[in-house]
């Protein structure tokens, strides 16, 4: 009897501990999202999801997707015209794969704590009122496949380490670290400088939208050998160079190009 009881206790402890850990992680995600909600200063169209409450599980919250473990994997809140800022604790959603807050009125900086989202594959903060420097920590998000920042008030003249250097504001070679990136939207931002040749390392890139940015210098010929590219937007910069005669060989997937 003692052996049976000992076995039962052992099994109970083995099962109970992971469940407690899962519950704790689940509650942590819920706390992070409730803090995010608390940073919403204005909701002019009354579209903020009212089911975001500690009384309900995050798996049924509007805009939130979770996995079988209950952990938050996606936060999709586009085009809600929400006013506020993005709080640092959002970086604690360690299972997050997609973050889409586009089409709102979020202001301030993107918090550096988002650099902890190492599994993030999609980030879209386009068409907001975000300002300050383009974050230097984007180079840490090596799983990114889609990055969209256009339609904000970012500056690049003082950013170091990644995306922009502290002299000219030009894109640095470390952009080539994002080898999983599939879509890059930086158009219509206050960015200047040259395009580094290391952009040619982005062999999975399908969309390169860097038009209307004040870029200068030679268009790196390596761009015309990025065989996955479907769309290229380089217009309204101060770039020079010519299209290669064999462009169809180097860009077999190309569907659209704007170059002037």
Q: Residue 89: is its pLDDT beyond 70?
A: yes
**Looking at residue 82, what is its pLDDT?**
92
pLDDT in tens, 212-243: 888 899 999 999 999 999 999 999 999 999 88
Nearest to 96 by CA among 125, 76, 126, 110: 76
d(CA 255, CA 45): 38
How far, in Å, CA of 152 to CA of 130, rounded?
Answer: 5
110-128 pLDDT per residue, tens: 999 999 999 999 999 988 9
> How far is Cα 233 from Cα 135, in angstroms, rounded to an integer?
23
Domains (range + CATH), the chain: 2-258 (3.80.10.10)
Please give the helix or strand (H or E) that residue 31 lies within, else none. helix 2-38
Q: 134 near 153, Cβ under 8 Å? A: no
Cβ 205 vs Cβ 186: under 8 Å:
no
> What backbone torsions phi and psi does residue 90 show, to the nearest 5 degrees?
-60, -25
Question: In residues, how long is the chain?
Answer: 260
Query: How confident is the model over 28-86, as pLDDT tens digits?
Result: 999 999 999 999 998 887 766 678 888 888 988 989 999 888 899 999 999 999 999 99
Is the pLDDT score of 168 beyond 80? no
């Amino acid at each position: 009897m003692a052996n049976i009881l000992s076995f039962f206790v052992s099994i109970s402890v083995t099962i109970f501990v992971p469940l407690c850990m899962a519950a704790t992680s689940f509650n942590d995600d819920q706390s992070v999202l409730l803090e995010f909600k608390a940073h919403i200063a204005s909701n002019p169209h009354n579209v903020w999801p009212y089911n975001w409450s500690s009384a309900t599980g995050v798996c049924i919250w509007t805009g939130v997707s979770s996995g079988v473990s209950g952990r938050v994997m996606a936060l999709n809140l586009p085009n809600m015209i929400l006013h506020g800022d993005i709080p640092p604790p959002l970086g604690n959603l360690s299972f997050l794969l997609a973050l889409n807050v586009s089409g709102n009125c979020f202001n301030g900086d993107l918090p550096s704590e988002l650099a902890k989202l190492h599994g993030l594959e999609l980030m879209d903060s386009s068409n907001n009122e975000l300002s300050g420097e383009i974050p230097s920590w984007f180079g840490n998000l090596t799983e990114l496949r889609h990055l969209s920042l256009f339609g904000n008030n970012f500056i690049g003249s003082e950013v170091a380490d990644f995306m922009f250097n502290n002299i000219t504001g030009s894109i640095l070679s470390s952009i080539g670290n994002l080898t999983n990136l599939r879509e890059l939207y930086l158009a219509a931002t206050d960015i200047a400088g040259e395009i580094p040749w290391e952009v040619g390392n982005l062999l999975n890139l399908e969309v390169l939208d860097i038009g209307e940015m004040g870029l200068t210098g030679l268009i790196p010929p390596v761009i015309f050998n990025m065989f996955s590219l479907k769309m290229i937007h380089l217009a309204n910069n101060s770039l020079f160079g010519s299209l290669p005669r064999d462009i169809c060989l180097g860009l077999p997937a190309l569907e659209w190009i704007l170059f002037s």
